[in-house]
Amino acid sequence: MLSMVPPSSSPEDDGEGTVVDWEGPDDPQNPRNWTYRRKWGATLIVSAFTFISPVSSSMIAPATTQVASQFGITSQVIEAMTTSIFVLAYAIGPLFLGPLSEIYGRSRVLQLANMWYLVWNLVCGFAQSTGQLIAFRFLAGIGGSAPLSIGGGVLGDLWAVQERGQAIALYSLAPLLGPVIGPVAGAWIAQKSTWRWVFWSTTIVDAIIQVLGLFYLQETYAPILLERKASRMRKDADPEKGQRVRTAFDTEDRHWKKIFAKSLTRPFVLFYYEPIIQLLGIYMAFIYGLMYLFLTTIPSIFEGIYGQRVGLAGLNYIAIGVGLTGASQINARLLDKIYAYFTKRNGGAGRPEYRLPSMVPGTIFLPIGLFLTGWTARKDIHWIVPDIGIAFIGAGQILNFQSIQTYVIDAFTLHAASALAAVSCLRSLAGFGFPLFAPAMYNALGFGKGDTILACAAIVIGCPAPWVFWYYGERIRKASRHARA
């Protein structure tokens, strides 16, 4: 399917009833024709939802020592799980929340899921045992996972392919910058107050975002909007004439059970059949796993090796934030320009592969950062040097992340939410698992050898990826059941 929206036309009778469609190419009800202010309002709200949830995912990391002391946790794995269990929920939630948004609408599912997250995140602050905290964190993560898959679908609904680069750059920054800002704030909260305020403070911020969402996040999914239009027309139709009113997206079988079953299984079908999602999903999983591995090991570098206090050590998370933000801002300005340049060279025909050039520097920055961080995290080398390495890691992560997400949205526009759900499932499992083995790896090998292994994996998995899809992506998409050729 080339576009989110069906061909623009007025309602017409095709012999089997009235087919409801947009009122021409400039129909103001079509989200693609909304004003820039309205589009950016929805984009900012979705990005805010996508930001605050990952803040919660990692904000507890610097305070895990407090949590372990209060609840008597002695296992490093259980201690790490109090942070990473939230990310495990990210692997599960999008599998049904993404498809549900294609049945009941983006806005409704996004906001209900965010309210679910808000409630359980608040309850986390009242946990009285390790089991309660882990369970409440998991339930909060289920609701917090919605923007990671649905948000991309919203942007696909709103922005034409040649416009969406900057919007997706902002949206893609949120789930990576959130886990960085969270520990900086969490470190000072842990030092000055109690770990419980980690949850209460994020709940207050999320409540403000939710109120704004009620006003500025309207429905964007074309099949839902056209179905609402068709419902209004059915009320006005003459029942004696037996007039049938349907949308351009209707199939012969519209029973909700079959629609529900198909939508819920679509992420699994996409992952099973689509090489694009399989290959890019594995690399994104590695990137996301690295993110949470570093989020949980930065304290051991700067508190353990350099002897910094919790609050001061937490400021080193800013290094990864500098890499993420700096590279993201540059890439946001280049994504659409690069796409337009190659589209022009191709006679005006765009291809999702024109989103991939940003991956090339990203795949180089990532191993450079890993080598630099691992081998300079020593007491005789100034702490700024591993921070520079961490900044390179952040830059590599966001360049790859933005390119992959934009490519997936361009390739699977109509089912972008399900496609992103399939990709995010694997990456979230990695985000959950990497921090659990990190302490054992670094205890056995040290930071130098441990990060060298990760750097070599980044080279083997990542460096060939943009070239493979640049040269063979179109052929893969033509053989696909769901991607646009």
The pLDDT tens digits of the residues spanning 94-113 come to 777 877 887 888 999 999 99
For the chain, report the end-to-end CA distance as a whole number of angstroms. Answer: 8
Q: Which CATH class name applies to 29-229+255-478?
A: mainly alpha
Position 6 scores a pLDDT of 43
Phi and psi at 19, nearest 5°, equal: -100, 120
User: Helices (H) and strands (E) in the chain — how many of each?
Assistant: 17, 3
- CA 91/CA 428 separation, integer angstroms: 5
Position 111 scores a pLDDT of 94
Using the predicted structure, report yes or no on whether residue 14 has a pLDDT greater than 60: no
Amino acid at 178: G
Confidence band (pLDDT; 50, 70, 90) for 161? confident
Position 255 scores a pLDDT of 55
- CA 384/CA 393 separation, integer angstroms: 14
Using the predicted structure, report yes or no on whether residue 175 has a pLDDT greater than 90: no
Report the 10 Å Cβ neighbour count for 421. 32
- CA 246/CA 264 separation, integer angstroms: 23
- CA 143/CA 129 separation, integer angstroms: 22
Position 443 scores a pLDDT of 85
- CA 456/CA 439 separation, integer angstroms: 19
Q: Which of 207, 165, 198 is nearest to 43 (CA)?
A: 165
pLDDT in tens, 299-321: 788 888 898 887 788 888 889 88
For the chain, what is the mean pLDDT? 83
Residue pair 362/172 in contact by the 8 Å Cβ criterion: no
CA angle 319-125-171, nearest 5°?
40
pLDDT in tens, 351-404: 888 888 989 999 999 999 999 999 999 999 999 999 999 999 999 998 998 888
Torsion of CA 385, 388, 393, 399, to 10 degrees: -160
Per domain, the residue ranges of the chain are 29-229+255-478
Q: Which of 94-98, 188-192, 337-341 has the highest mean pLDDT?
A: 337-341
Q: In what order do the strands lie in the sheet with 12-13?
A: 12-13, 18-20, 245-247
- CA 82/CA 56 separation, integer angstroms: 12
Phi and psi at 13, nearest 5°, equal: -95, 120
Distances (CA, A) of 293 to 31, 84, 211: 39, 10, 33
Mean pLDDT value across residues 22-38: 87
Amino acid at 317: Y
Q: Which of 263, 226, 224, 56 is nearest to 147 (CA)?
A: 56
Whether pTM > 0.85 for this model: the answer is: no
Residue pair 336/403 in contact by the 8 Å Cβ criterion: no
Position 5 scores a pLDDT of 42
pLDDT in tens, 426-479: 888 888 888 888 878 888 888 999 999 999 999 998 888 889 888 888 888 777
Using the predicted structure, report yes or no on whether residue 205 has a pLDDT greater than 90: yes
Position of tokens 């025909």? 349
Torsion of CA 244, 248, 252, 257, to 10 degrees: -110
pLDDT in tens, 245-300: 777 676 545 456 666 676 667 777 877 888 888 888 888 888 888 887 877 788 78
Report the 10 Å Cβ neighbour count for 42. 24
Position 3 scores a pLDDT of 36
Beta bridge partners of 245: 18
- CA 126/CA 356 separation, integer angstroms: 45
Amino acid at 124: C
19-23, 117-121, 151-155, 445-449: segment of lowest average pLDDT? 19-23
Using the predicted structure, report yes or no on whether residue 192 has a pLDDT greater than 90: no
